[in-house]
Amino acid sequence: MWDQHLKGRRIGLRAGREAFNPALPSLLMIHGSGGDKDAWRSQFGGLKGVNAAAIDLPGHGDTPGPAMAKVEDYAAWLARFIASGPLRPVLLGHSLGGAVAQMLALSDPALIKGLILVGTGSRLRVLPAILEGVISDHQATAKLIVQYAYAEGADPGSLQRGLEEMLLRPPQLLHGDFSACNAFDVSARLGEIKAPTLMIVGAGDKLTPPKYSQFLAQGIAGSRVEVIEGAGHMVALEKPQAFNRAVLDFMAGI
């Protein structure tokens, strides 16, 4: 049924391994800065019992560009995509994707059934060393980002793959995404979000530490936080079993 949303459009979207079941809730996953749908590779086979799909934002993965300069623009694009078909999914957004999900929940709440906000916040200030460094010294900054993105003691193979993927991202794309994050702030509007909401965050997240998720929980009525031990900012990849379990527990209540 995701095909109905894609009709007439060139959009990168990957659905889960199970056949679509209209009796089950639907979940649309949104990647973070510089990412694409492959960021959810550990979820495609692990989220059984939901109609899961991951989308590429404009200028990322298989969705043509240009990339957008503001979170509001990404949210408006995503709202048009969802409105074009019959599904009203739960949005699962990581980092920048979480900002996009929050903005859409504020601008077009009727289009969604709930929110899962992963490693994100109502405000996403970016370290100047990262924001400026992706242009001035892409390679060194990519290494810095990966160091911040994974928990202490992370698997060396995961770190290497993360670095290789980061180095493949055009510096201008990364700078645009990080700039969009840096300008994002809906802290004063969290009380307007009425959708059922879950925050998931790695206990060792150095980019968007657990206090960011706790602040979201204080502002969004009825929401709660799931802190996953042994994980950093890339919690969905670092601890996929615990992450997928938290997602499925939440989806069971939708």
For residue 40, what pLDDT is reported?
97
d(CA 208, CA 210) in angstroms, rounded, equals 7
On the CB side of 121, how many CA atoms lie within 13 Å of its CA?
21
Q: CA end-to-end span of the chain, whole Å?
A: 19
Tokens of 110: 């009727």
Place of tokens 């009525």: 221
Are the C-beta atoms of residues 188 and 101 closer than 8 Å to each other?
Answer: no
**What are the pLDDT tens digits along the chain (254 aa)?**
898 999 889 999 999 888 899 999 999 999 999 999 999 999 998 999 999 999 999 999 999 999 999 999 999 999 999 999 999 999 999 999 999 999 999 999 999 999 999 999 999 999 999 999 999 999 999 999 999 999 999 999 999 999 999 999 999 999 999 999 999 999 999 999 999 999 999 999 999 999 999 999 999 999 999 999 999 999 999 999 999 999 999 999 98
CATH superfamily of 2-123+187-252: Alpha/Beta hydrolase fold, catalytic domain (3.40.50.1820)
3-state secondary structure of 242: helix
- What pTM did the predictor assign? 0.97
CA-derived radius of gyration, the chain: 17
For residue 217, what pLDDT is reported?
98
Tell me the domain boundaries of the chain.
Answer: 2-123+187-252
Phi, psi of 136 (to 5 degrees): -75, -30
For residue 254, what pLDDT is reported?
85
